[in-house]
Structure 1
Amino acid sequence: MNRSERENAARRIMERTPPVVPPDLCARAVRRGGRLLRRRRIALRLLWLLLFAAAVAFAVWSLTVRPWVEPPSEVTPPLTGW
């Protein structure tokens, strides 16, 4: 396709009548945007709640198990020097 054919094709496209836009398009877009925002807000709240629950569970586990404390020895050391 050479330049004049491209120009003619572009001219034909621009001379067409624009498509008819539905009259309630703006209202539908606003409703959809509101739904998307509510869903995003709910998802973020659920993620924060899950993160908080995981932090509480970890804190409770670490306070009850105390993984930083060395476990007691299961074998008694030999007694020498009696």
Structure 2
Amino acid sequence: MNRAEREAAARRVMERVAVPVPPDLSTEAVRRGDRLLRRRQLVRRVLWLLLCAAAVAFAVWAADAHPWVEPPSQTTPPVSGW
């Protein structure tokens, strides 16, 4: 498609009769946008809450279990009676 054909196609598109827009389209779009925004904010807050709860649970577990301490060796019995 060369430049003249593209210009002719663009003119044909612009000369068409505009499709009528429903009168309540903008109010419906605003309502849906507000609902989506509130839903995203709620999801974001719930995820932050879950992340904080997981961090607290991990801290409590780590304070109780001491996962950084090496467990005692159980491969040989203790030597006694020498």
TM-score higher than 0.5: yes
CA-atom RMSD in angstroms: 2.1
Query: Which residue of structure 2 aligns with residue 76 of structure 1?
Result: 78
Distance 2:7 2:38 in 1: 46
Structure 2 match to 1:28 = 28
Distance 2:6 2:30 in 1: 38
Structure 2: gaps spanning 5 or more residues: none
Q: Deviations over 1:31-51 (max 9, x none)?
A: 111111111011111111110
Measure, in 2, the Cα distance between the counterparts of 1:2 and 1:73: 81
Q: From the superposition, tell whether residues 2 and 65 of structure 1 become closer, same or farther in structure 2 (CA, over 3 Å).
A: closer
Aligned length in residues: 80
Q: Unpaired segments of 5 or more residues in structure 1?
A: none
- Deviation, structure 1 residue 69: 2.6
Q: TM-score, normalised by structure 1?
A: 0.77
TM-score by length of 2: 0.77
